[in-house]
Amino acid sequence: MTLELNQITTLFLALALLTIGTILVRKIGVLQKFCIPAPVVGGLLFAILATILKYFDLLSFQLDTSLQNLFMLTFFTTVGLGASFSLIRLGGKLLIIYWVACGFLALAQNAIGVSMSYLFNIHPLIGMMAGAVSMEGGHGGATAYGQTLEGLGIDSALSIGIAAATFGLVAGGLIGGPIVKYLIKKHDLKSTEVEHEVAYSAEAHEPAINTDNFLTQVLLITLCIAGGTFIGDLFSSATGFVMPGYVGAMFVAVIVRNVVDRFKGDAVHMTSINLIGDVSLGIFLSMALMSIKLWEVADLALPLLVIVFVQVLFVVLFGIFILFRILGKNYDAAVMVAGFAGHGLGATPNAMANMAAVTARYGPSRKAFLIVPIVGAFLIDVVSMPIIITTINIFS
């Protein structure tokens, strides 16, 4: 028997699973420890249930996830609207170095994924889905690019990307602390700050959310989505080079943010933008995960685990022997390496959790809490997206 859910019922199911995931994350300590996102918990539970029901020929689901694309576009647009050049200037030279290192990591992760795909005799783009797409990109990147690849005929790309992102997320939470502990002990590092200083946040000086400023943010977001998808479609049709609409939307949003900052600095209300982005990401991921077909990736479990293990090993070695050195070989550099391990394999919240655990024990690092979230939250996409899109076009 097949149960068909229409657009509204599917949206309700996604929100219900997001709520269930949120409750479980609050109640279960291990989920909090590794910063597992609530939509991942709720969505995967449903995917597992759907797999069991299908395996025993009891029930299958047909979902209408047509709204998923809108929430995906909205999320990536809010990321772009957060990319203020004034924040980049505030981070200074260290931010640029960290940003370049993250760009190199994206290139290396794709190279690892694609090269190892030949070892296991699988499609190179399947290997790429266990590269920067799901490692630095996390579940959001895995879902967005997974849909793009499935549109190009790469079966199970979404499911593989989600699985790789989940493995990476857990690994990123596990390795951050031990890496920093090793660096601190070996180099006898200590925090030079007397007390913890909160990193710069534009939100701290903003007025409360009201109807007027919230409506302005919705207007800006829809403007960026409309312009970005139009440019993406135009670019793809004119060049034959695949450029997903969400990529165009994010880059248009970056331009709009900085033009608006120049002429009306208070027009972008980041509290509202972040709220819209968080809700959109939650629904987008919940829809994506509840609709994945786990039975399609069973045969690729071993290659996927091996590729992710190599990715983790590379991040550890790169963080200890290269990134730590180029960031100054001091306590701040060590804390940033913990953040790098978190979002280089999972997500920015993972990075923040890693750094919070380290600084709670060894002392504060204002530079790390400024630079890592700025790069991990939005700047990394500026360099990783062209790398990923180029890889897709080379091997598609």
pLDDT at site 138: 84
pLDDT at site 200: 44
pLDDT at site 35: 60
Question: Which residues, at least 6 apart from 77, have a Cβ–Cβ distance to it below 8 Å?
Answer: 221, 224, 225, 228, 246, 249, 250, 252, 253
Whether 84 has a pLDDT exceeding 80, the answer reads no
Closest CA relative to residue 386, chosen from 247, 249, 225? 247
pLDDT at site 194: 54
The 10s digit of each residue's pLDDT in 178-228 is 898 899 999 999 987 654 444 444 555 677 888 888 999 999 999 999 999
In this prediction the pTM is: 0.74
The 10s digit of each residue's pLDDT in 2-33 is 899 999 999 999 999 999 999 998 998 887 76
Structure tokens, 345: 């394999």
Rounded CA-CA distance 182/184 in Å is 6
The 10s digit of each residue's pLDDT in 232-250 is 888 878 877 767 777 788 8
The 10s digit of each residue's pLDDT in 291-338 is 877 777 777 788 988 999 999 999 999 999 999 999 999 999 999 999
H-helix or E-strand spanning residue 283: helix 270-290
For residue 75, what pLDDT band results from cuts at 50, 70 and 90?
confident
Mean pLDDT within 374-386: 81
Mean pLDDT within 357-381: 82
